[in-house]
Amino acid sequence: MKKLVFVTGGVCSSLGKGVTASSIGSLLEARGFNVRMMKIDPYLNVDAGTMNPYQHGEVYVTDDGAETDLDLGNYARFTNAPIARANSITTGQVYQEVIEKERQGRFLGRTVQVIPHITDAIKARVHAVADNPDVDVTIVEIGGTVGDMESIPFLEAARQMIHEEGHQNAVSVHVTLIPRVSGGELKTKPTQHSVKELQEVGIQPDVLVVRCDEPVEEGLRRKIAAFTNVDFEGVISAHDAPTTVYEIPLVFHDQKLDVFLLKRMNIESRHADLRAWKEMVRKFREPKRRVRIGVVGKYMELVDAYKSVWEALHHGGIANDAAVDIVRVDSGDFEGEGADPAKVLADVQGILIPGGFGHRGTSGMVAAVRWAREHKMPCFGICLGMQIMTIEWARTVLGWEDADSSEFQPDSKHPVVSLLEEQLEVKNYGGTMRLGASTSVLKEGTRVREAYGSETIQERHRHRYEFSNAYRADMEAAGLRITGLTPDGALVECVEWPDHPWGVGVQFHPEFKSRPVAPHPLFRAFVKACLGYAGR
């Protein structure tokens, strides 16, 4: 029988449901089980693609082109589970599907209601993933907080599945908060109330993962167990990790959360092989060197806006036995009268320009890129970052002062970045960009070819504008190296600066495929170059 684990949250948002679900998946994989991860988001958007990064954080893109919640990035970093469109469910998707069926007359004139039609659609989407013959355990994270009206249909679907599958085959993990009040006392009452709310919708949690800034001592855990009908062994302390979020699976393993879950699901326990994970955490804790890298972007006020970039940089550090200290630099710091790139970048050994949309802050990015190129500082441009590198080259080296992207300056005489012809007639923004995995071919004798060790690669894209082929010959004649192309040679995928230690721009998003136990080759090479710059 297939096993299901439903992960919910209470008291407040942002408690770490995604990390909890990912850590459980990591521990079960370490015991040899084949895991699948799913995220349910209760918002009405069909996907995360049109959301402002300040509201929602980064959009994580899958190989099949789905624009999803950033928690799916956690799943990909903590587990080997494949992540695709089917692993992300939103209220918008479910209601859109049911309404389309109603318009087609597929309900045979019946009144369409939340129960059973919406809940049946939710359950069908979970089963589509969980019933795969290769899958042992499916972990379903339900977004939002218990008590939110938006989450009610999903909690009801979970309740039904727990009842239908049997309690040994479908279990509940609830994440709550133990706050510290004035005087330093820890309070369990919010957790008790949260469990009561979950029980009111018909779900009795099997495991409570309680968030706190320090380890929750045994007496408090026993008190929580007594008031919530949860076994003492199922009350898990999710205290702040001392060094990195990647310690959380080990924190849970030390408390035998994986053993308890397997026992509750009546699965014969296997030995957990966490050697690779423990070695990765050791490298994180005990770096031999340190390097400071500036990320020059436009969404710096919200850390989650570039979540995968931060993590991939840390992974690159792990690959080089180094700690990466990330310096968040607002691209606006390079703009305006008196802006001094040398001063802004005085304390870093490399810069990364991440993706983004819109004109704001781009002139500052161009100034930062120019300084890095002229002062031989390692520079890594991703998506918009690559486009900024080509704009700077056109302005500075070719002397085209008005060179720009047609996204930012529609009437530019030198739109070195522009829309593809098939994008000109696009009216809707959702899901219409170049999305998902595609193949690139890398030229010999280049930084990217050296980093990958392969001629062909598969990477994920999320963009609407491309380097314009109308200017390719001029750019190359002026020295810019075109180092990666689509297989048909039609689109530029990678560029590099000549006579520079490490100046690389890529149109795709390598950060989405980086894992702590398998750092992405481009981030490994970039951090190595920054360490070399630091040692000059």
How far does CA 524 lie from the centroid of its chain?
A: 18
Residues 36 and 115 in one domain: yes
* Whether the predicted pLDDT of 464 surpasses 60: yes
Residue type, 115: I
Tokens of 375: 């002062």
Distances (CA, A) of 277 to 29, 30, 69, 84, 241: 11, 9, 25, 24, 15
Check 383, 463, 494, 496 and give the catalytic one.
Answer: 383
Residues 393 and 471 in one domain: yes
pLDDT in the model for residue 47: 83
Q: Write down which residue in 279, 303, 327 finishes a domain.
A: 279
Residues 259 and 307 in one domain: no
* Whether the predicted pLDDT of 56 surpasses 80: no
Q: pLDDT tens digit string along 136-166?
A: 999 999 999 998 899 999 999 999 999 999 9
pLDDT in the model for residue 337: 81
Helix ranges (H only) for 132-201 are: 152-165, 189-200
Q: Write down which residue in 228, 260, 279 finishes a domain.
A: 279
* Whether the predicted pLDDT of 286 surpasses 90: yes
pLDDT in the model for residue 338: 81
**% pLDDT > 90, the chain:** 79
Concerning whether 407 is annotated as a catalytic residue, the answer is: no
| 396 three-class SS | helix
The CATH number that applies at residue 420 is: 3.40.50.880
- Confidence class for position 104, pLDDT limits 50, 70, 90: very high
Which residue in this structure is represented by tokens 């991703």? 382
pLDDT in the model for residue 536: 64
Q: Write down which residue in 279, 298, 324 finishes a domain.
A: 279
* Segment 483-487 mean pLDDT: 97
Give Dmax (Cα) for the chain. 75
Concerning whether 375 is annotated as a catalytic residue, the answer is: no
pTM of the model: 0.93
* Residues facing 322 on adjacent strands: 289
Domain count of the fold of the chain: 2
* Whether the predicted pLDDT of 370 surpasses 60: yes
The CATH number that applies at residue 176 is: 3.40.50.300
What does DSSP assign to residue 115?
I
* Segment 65-80 mean pLDDT: 94
Residues 357 and 296 in one domain: yes
pLDDT in the model for residue 358: 79
pLDDT in the model for residue 49: 75
327-352 burial, b at 16+ Cβ within 10 Å, e below that, comes to eebbbbbbbeeeeebeebbeebbbbb
Concerning whether 494 is annotated as a catalytic residue, the answer is: no
CA separation for the pair 263, 269 (Å, rounded): 8
Check 58, 511, 520, 530 and give the catalytic one.
Answer: 511
| 80 three-class SS | coil
The residue range of the domain holding 260 is: 3-279
Residues 320 and 250 in one domain: no
Give the DSSP H or E segment for 437.
strand 434-442
Residue pair 26/191 in contact (Cβ under 8 Å)? The answer is no
Check 174, 253, 463, 509 and give the catalytic one.
Answer: 509
* Segment 374-394 mean pLDDT: 97
Residues whose CB is less than 8 angstroms from the CB of residue 140 and which lie 6 or more positions away in sequence, other chains included: 4, 5, 6, 7, 38, 39, 40, 126, 158
For 215, counting Cβ atoms within 10 Å of its Cβ (0-12 exposed, 13-18 middle, 19+ buried), the class is: middle
Residues 216 and 336 in one domain: no
